Chains A and B, each alone.
Chain A
């Protein structure tokens, strides 16, 4: 490793030692039967607990930012450090050894996806206005993309933006909007010209989530919590200086966001969830249930461990490519598919070992607590692009297989069929 990186490691360590406590035990050590046994992927906290966690996340991000670690890869002109993705990875690796607040509420959407999109497509004024506030933890951003009728087919979105004087008026409904209830701004994709083909009549805007006409309603997830929302936009005024990219050029903006989304979902192997389905913890689970000599259980454990480690090796390979200055190939998409699969298998393997004590809370440590993860894993095959869409992308972009012949990318949007009842023409005039 070059000495520049050694210096960086020393700098991070000094910062973390000064502002955080080192974990009592190594992250991967198992404390069987002790402490917290919840394995939470999606939050199921009551609002006051959730709000306290959001406040702690913002405070920790502020501390990172004030010490130069808030946005390692960002340009210095907008509050970043001008470093590389490798520095990000190194920082994350070092921070994992410390007790620090979980900052996913800021980072997964706002810092991981919206920030890079503003950086790539925003005017200097927009970048100056929002990027330092985002990366210093002052505000949270959300992604106003999906709609009830535009899920996998995102370009079929119908929320309208109509010019009015110096600005735009937005009307429509967005859905599956994570962290909208904590967000100060949202990145919205809107239909600006229904007479153009669907990918070419979309424009992107930064929306003030506290503006009149923005109505945020929580959606309760099957896992019990409410991390995402539906967002209704009714005559919401957005000034033209909050447009991101050219008029009708929003699809290119969206692609930047989606590319960053795929990069941010795959590599989440560590953390409490990852540890719960890793070999040391599952081995203790077998031991505690007297199944360590059970051939069938051992076989499933080994199969899971092999795939989990191989996925980890795939992530290592991606990091080595970054380090060598190479562009990684399809590793991130493959890693995302494998992560969903491995986590799901791990949860069901644990359930099989635990047996009936998983279906009702007997109070026994580490049994009923697995229900949270079991109820969360179905989402992993949907969020950030469904498994089916990911496979289309791998097959078409990596392997070069032909696109679906039925997909119409040429006809005007208003002529496309958008529901079982509709025939296309005229519907957008409703």
Chain B
């Protein structure tokens, strides 16, 4: 099923189905309840996403229980999730772990993927470096690989600490890039039943809608996924896909901020006028719209490129452009959203800070500006 076959009408139908679902299951009250919960997300909603809409399986390969669609379809879903700020392990389990497993291939991937597709297993992928970054080393001490694997392919054990693992405390399966005898490889740890030597510490988080944990391995049993020493190619693919997915989420979040600001600028009256009639506010809103439009175009183009659509640009370049432009746009729009709302926008009760937190954390999730701008130049051959 190639993505070229999905018409814009079908994409619109998918969007409206997901939007309706989010409106019913992930309104602001539900999001705040999930934030305050032990797990950090509503597992009933997670199960319904799989059972009613099949979102987890949408873009996974058919041979592993997926529906075989691509990022063009998946990003429609992610945009709606981003708009609603849905707390869920979708990015960690489906996007990060799912992409890593598909890229790695082999029996181990085949064992884990059907559960991810069904939403019955959650997995995550730990960033490889000691500073929580996604580089495989080369630039400095912070880039050193955080976890090492023992020799062999069968009775492998892992040692080390991954400092910033998305949904690391709750995931059933932890995928870890660990330094091994054949170079960095991808390893899987079954964490559900509590693996030996595994310590998972939930951390206080800037973005309240995404949980992050420190994960320590001490002679923890693990299995190699894919080829020994094969992590570099897997990570490259994961970063292209994950930053494209994140870009769509960021566009959704930015759009929500634009709508909130526009609505407020029409409702709020000062000096006897709707504040949206003042050019100072109007031009701010136009700047926000401009940011959102450009970000939206970048995210869509990246999805087409990563899916390998015929007339699309180079996927590495398009993904890097989308990651940079959408990160900057969401942060700018989320910041201005607070400004348009004035004092009320600075209160805990208003949703503006939830978007601002999500925007800042998303910008830095894969390394931040210093990393993504260099990644763009590298992909463009400079």
Contacts and interface: CB of A to CB of B under 8 A. Distances in A.
Contact of A399 (B262, B294, B318, B376): B262
Contacts of A394: 286, 289-290
A190 interface: no
A356 interface: no
Given A298-B374, A334-B293, A305 B380 contact: yes
Interface in B285-331: 285-287, 289-290, 293-295, 297-298, 300-301, 313, 317-318, 320-322, 324-325
A307 B294 contact: yes
Contacts of A299: 369-370, 373
Nearest to B292: A334
Interface in B310-364: 313, 317-318, 320-322, 324-325
A155 to B, nearest CB: 18
B282 A392 contact: yes
A324 interface: yes
B319 to A, nearest CB: 11
Nearest to B310: A1
A317 B300 contact: yes
A39 interface: no
Contact of A313 (B273, B301, B377): B301
Contacts of B301: 313, 316-317
A309 B374 contact: no
B378 to A, nearest CB: 10
B128 interface: no
Contacts of B274: 401-402
A403 B318 CA distance: 38
A404 B367 CA distance: 43
B82 interface: no
B277 interface: yes
B310 to A, nearest CB: 9
A260 interface: no
B111 interface: no
B66 interface: no
B8 A324 contact: yes
A92 to B, nearest CB: 16
A398 B290 CA distance: 11
A303 interface: yes
Contacts of A399: 258, 262, 285-286, 289
A338 interface: yes
Contacts of B286: 390-392, 394-395, 399
B373 A310 contact: no
Main secondary structure of the interface of A (DSSP, over half): helix
A378 to B, nearest CB: 18
B382 interface: yes
Given A395-B276, A400-B266, A310 B382 contact: no
Interface in B29-69: none
A396 B274 CA distance: 13
Contacts of B320: 306
A314 B277 contact: no
Interface string A392-430: 101110111111110000000000000000000000000
Contacts of A405: 273, 277
Contact of A306 (B266, B277, B324): B324
A396 B282 contact: yes
Contacts of A326: 8
Contact of B266 (A311, A317, A391, A402): A402
B123 interface: no
Nearest to B262: A399
A314 B293 contact: yes
A330 interface: yes
A279 to B, nearest CB: 6
Interface string B1-33: 000000010000000000000000000000000
Closest 9 CB pairs of A and B: A302-B373, A391-B286, A313-B301, A314-B297, A401-B276, A395-B282, A394-B286, A310-B298, A402-B277
Interface of B: 8, 258, 262, 265-266, 273-274, 276-277, 279, 281-283, 285-287, 289-290, 293-295, 297-298, 300-301, 313, 317-318, 320-322, 324-325, 369-370, 373-374, 376-377, 380, 382
6 contacts: A306-B321, A338-B290, A395-B286, A400-B262, A401-B282, A402-B276
